[in-house]
């Protein structure tokens, strides 16, 4: 069941809108306002959503007011934190956007090694707060991605083999649910909700703050290696990078060599295999652990060196900005030879100048978390592969679709945060059947009317009677469980 728009925004009594606006500590942006066009921009430039209201939330009260207003006016709700949604769900037409990009406070407790962060905070904000203490959170590969979307989907980045996903460091969240309750979810409070939030994407409410464990990470051995894109290199990479010591996490890809000064000119704009490397262990041991990657072929360029952990994000700075992104992706059990053949066919045909076939090696700490511990359950998959094209023209999108059609049969399962609008069947693929059923049960309990449906949507389980029961249950629970301490920063 989905809440439908019963009222066009223009027929909402202006007095109601005014009353709503007057309650906000943040601001309300509407079509025609000076800030409207700027406020509705997302990272992926393919999207051009025109919401009815953008609530630039300043605190939890704003989020509660926005959810209640949208529910009362029967307007759809979308949630925006860092704005990096690949399918553009965070800025839907005619919706009330709860924009958390201004809620980006972070606070570190160096003694306890914990971090409290608001959802609009990005990896850059987290690095700035944690690195002075020699601490880090396992996040993603791009500094501009928001914690809101990254964490609720899982979070696969440069420390995934050493410390697991972002959700594997999550201690608790504060969240506003569909019926306007403000709850804490953790291992001991609303544990079913806490399980679902860790991978179930934005289906269960609006997270207003996260509490994470931090890990000691200071100097890493890291950087980039450029190798010729050959069958042997791809095979050797997948075999080594998935079984190397946990300290080594890599994100690799076939792409056109950029015209950087350290890449010989004869390779510029030719297909190469690029490996981004993070060795987060004792620096003296790092070079030896990275050596097998350098030995896969005569390197075209090797810029591996000891560096402060944030240094690795310089290597992805070119994608930490607005761009056109077409993405198709899936998990694999190892990298099958047939998939390598398919990729190499494309390399030999000249490749697309805006394209990348990204290959992330998993395993390590990521794989040791039991599959049923969090809603992100594809823990047994050792490779994550994404076909990415950053070209704006239809031909580039088609390139991605065509290659993906040939690679998809080698995949099993998908990462919810890399899904585009690919239909319900693909959302199911993000979760094994038992995980999906459990998610649908939790959805029934916390969002029986599917208020949060503009996302990779999990439909509430059960009949309308179940839905009434679930609503009663959630009301009683919210009354019994004390509200969290208000977030004063």
149 sits near ligand FAD (criterion: CB under 6 A): yes
**Residue environment code for 70-95, b if the CB has 16+ CB neighbours within 10 A, otherwise e:** bbebebbbbbbbbbbbbbbbbbbeeb
Stretch that binds ligand FAD, among 141-149, 213-221, 257-265, 404-412 (CB under 6 A): 141-149
| Among the listed residues 274, 411, 417, 435, the single contact to ligand FAD using CB under 6 A | 417
155 sits near ligand FAD (criterion: CB under 6 A): yes
Question: In the complex, what is the shortest distance from the CB of residue 18 to ligand FAD, in angstroms, rounded to a whole number?
Answer: 27
26 sits near ligand FAD (criterion: CB under 6 A): no
| Among the listed residues 40, 80, 379, 396, the single contact to ligand FAD using CB under 6 A | 80
Phi, psi of 185 (to 5 degrees): -125, 130
73 sits near ligand FAD (criterion: CB under 6 A): no
Strand ranges in 3-113 using DSSP code E only, listed in sequence order: 27-29, 53-56, 77-80, 96-99, 106-109
The contact pattern for ligand FAD, residues 82-101, with x = CB under 6 A and - = no contact, is xxxxx--xx---------x-
Question: In the complex, what is the shortest distance from the CB of residue 79 to ligand FAD, in angstroms, rounded to a whole number?
Answer: 4
| Closest C-alpha to 331, from 294, 381, 257, 290 | 381
Six-digit token string for 477: 């629970």
Residues 6+ apart with CB under 8 A from 426: 414, 419
Considering the complex, state which of residue 167 and residue 272 has its C-beta at the smaller distance from ligand FAD: 167
Question: In the complex, what is the shortest distance from the CB of residue 480 to ligand FAD, in angstroms, rounded to a whole number?
Answer: 24
Considering the complex, state which of residue 17 and residue 27 has its C-beta at the smaller distance from ligand FAD: 27
207 sits near ligand FAD (criterion: CB under 6 A): yes
The contact pattern for ligand FAD, residues 325-354, with x = CB under 6 A and - = no contact, is x-----------------------------
169 sits near ligand FAD (criterion: CB under 6 A): no
Output the CA–CA distances (angstroms, integers) from residue 66 to 23, 60, 84, 324, 410, in the order listed.
Answer: 10, 10, 21, 30, 43
Considering the complex, state which of residue 148 and residue 460 has its C-beta at the smaller distance from ligand FAD: 148
413 sits near ligand FAD (criterion: CB under 6 A): no
Considering the complex, state which of residue 208 and residue 242 has its C-beta at the smaller distance from ligand FAD: 208
Stretch that binds ligand FAD, among 199-207, 214-222, 298-306, 458-466 (CB under 6 A): 199-207
Give me the DSSP letters along 18-35.
Answer: HHHHHH-SSEEE-TTSTT
319 sits near ligand FAD (criterion: CB under 6 A): yes
Considering the complex, state which of residue 92 and residue 304 has its C-beta at the smaller distance from ligand FAD: 92
Q: For ligand FAD, which residue has the nearest CB?
A: 149
DSSP 122: B
Question: What is the rounded end-to-end Cα distance, in angstroms, of the chain?
Answer: 37
CA–CA separation, 83 and 100 (whole Å): 9
Residue labelled with tokens 């319900």: 424
201 sits near ligand FAD (criterion: CB under 6 A): yes
Question: In the complex, what is the shortest distance from the CB of residue 41 to ligand FAD, in angstroms, rounded to a whole number?
Answer: 11
Phi, psi of 42 (to 5 degrees): -115, 165
Output the CA–CA distances (angstroms, integers) from residue 486 to 94, 226, 341, 459, 483, in the order listed.
Answer: 31, 49, 55, 30, 8
Stretch that binds ligand FAD, among 148-156, 240-248, 301-309, 431-439 (CB under 6 A): 148-156
Question: In the complex, what is the shortest distance from the CB of residue 258 to ligand FAD, in angstroms, rounded to a whole number?
Answer: 16
Report the DSSP beta bridge partners of residue 305: 222
CA–CA separation, 225 and 230 (whole Å): 14
355 sits near ligand FAD (criterion: CB under 6 A): no
| Closest C-alpha to 406, from 333, 347, 354, 341 | 341
Total Cβ atoms within 10 A of residue 398: 14
223 sits near ligand FAD (criterion: CB under 6 A): no
CA–CA separation, 12 and 7 (whole Å): 7
Stretch that binds ligand FAD, among 142-150, 274-282, 307-315, 478-486 (CB under 6 A): 142-150
Size of the site for ligand FAD (CB under 6 A): 36
202 sits near ligand FAD (criterion: CB under 6 A): yes
Considering the complex, state which of residue 12 and residue 411 has its C-beta at the smaller distance from ligand FAD: 411
| Closest C-alpha to 138, from 244, 246, 237, 60 | 246
222 sits near ligand FAD (criterion: CB under 6 A): no
| Among the listed residues 12, 24, 28, 43, the single contact to ligand FAD using CB under 6 A | 43
Output the CA–CA distances (angstroms, integers) from residue 419 to 86, 310, 314, in the order listed.
Answer: 7, 27, 25
Residues of this chain that interact with ligand FAD (CB under 6 A) are: 43, 79-86, 89-90, 100, 119, 140-142, 145-146, 148-150, 152-157, 201-202, 206-207, 319, 325, 417-418, 455
């Amino acid at each position: 069941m989905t809440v439908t728009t019963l009222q066009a925004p223009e027929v909402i009594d202006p007095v109601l809108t005014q009353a709503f606006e007057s309650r906000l500590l943040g601001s309300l942006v509407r079509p025609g306002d000076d800030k409207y066009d700027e406020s509705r921009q997302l990272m992926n430039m393919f999207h051009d959503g025109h919401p009815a209201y953008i609530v630039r939330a300043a605190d939890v009260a704003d989020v509660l007011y926005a959810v209640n207003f949208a529910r009362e006016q029967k307007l759809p709700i979308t949630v925006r934190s860092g704005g990096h949604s690949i399918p553009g769900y965070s800025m839907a037409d005619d919706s009330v956007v709860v924009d958390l990009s201004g809620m980006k406070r972070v606070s570190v407790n160096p003694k306890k090694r914990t971090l409290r962060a608001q959802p609009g905070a990005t990896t850059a904000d987290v690095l700035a707060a944690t690195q002075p203490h020699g601490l880090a959170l396992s996040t993603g590969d791009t500094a501009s991605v928001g914690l809101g979307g990254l964490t609720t989907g899982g979070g696969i980045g440069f420390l995934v083999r050493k410390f697991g996903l972002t959700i594997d460091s999550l201690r608790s969240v504060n969240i506003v649910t569909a019926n306007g309750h403000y709850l804490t979810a953790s291992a001991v409070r609303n544990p079913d909700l806490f399980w679902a939030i860790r991978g179930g994407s934005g289906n269960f409410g609006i997270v207003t703050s996260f509490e994470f464990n931090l890990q000691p990470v200071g100097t890493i051995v890291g950087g980039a290696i450029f190798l010729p894109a050959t069958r042997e290199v791809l095979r050797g990479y997948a075999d080594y990078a998935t079984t190397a010591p946990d300290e080594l996490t890599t994100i690799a890809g076939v792409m056109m060599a950029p015209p950087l000064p350290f890449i010989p000119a004869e390779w510029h704009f030719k297909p190469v295999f690029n490996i981004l490397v993070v060795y987060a262990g004792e620096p003296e041991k790092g070079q030896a652990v990275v050596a097998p990657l350098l030995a896969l072929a005569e390197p075209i360029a090797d810029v591996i060196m000891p560096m402060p952990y944030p240094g690795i994000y310089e290597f992805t700075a070119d994608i930490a900005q607005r761009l056109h992104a077409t993405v198709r992706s899936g998990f694999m059990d190892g990298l099958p030879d047939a998939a390598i053949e398919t990729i190499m066919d494309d390399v030999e045909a000249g490749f697309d100048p805006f394209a990348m076939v990204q290959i992330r090696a998993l395993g390590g700490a990521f794989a040791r978390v039991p599959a049923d511990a969090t809603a992100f359950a594809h823990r047994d998959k050792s490779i994550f592969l994404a076909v990415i094209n950053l070209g704006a023209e239809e031909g580039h999108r088609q390139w991605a679709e065509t290659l993906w059609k040939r690679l998809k049969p080698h995949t099993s399962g998908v990462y919810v945060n890399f899904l585009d609008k690919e239909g319900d069947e693909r959302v199911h693929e993000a979760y094994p059947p038992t995980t999906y059923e459990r998610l649908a049960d939790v959805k029934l309990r916390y969002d029986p009317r599917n208020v949060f449906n503009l996302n990779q949507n999990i439909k509430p389980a059960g009949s309308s009677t179940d839905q009434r029961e679930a609503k009663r249950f959630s009301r009683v629970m919210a009354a019994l469980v004390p509200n969290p301490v208000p977030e004063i920063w």
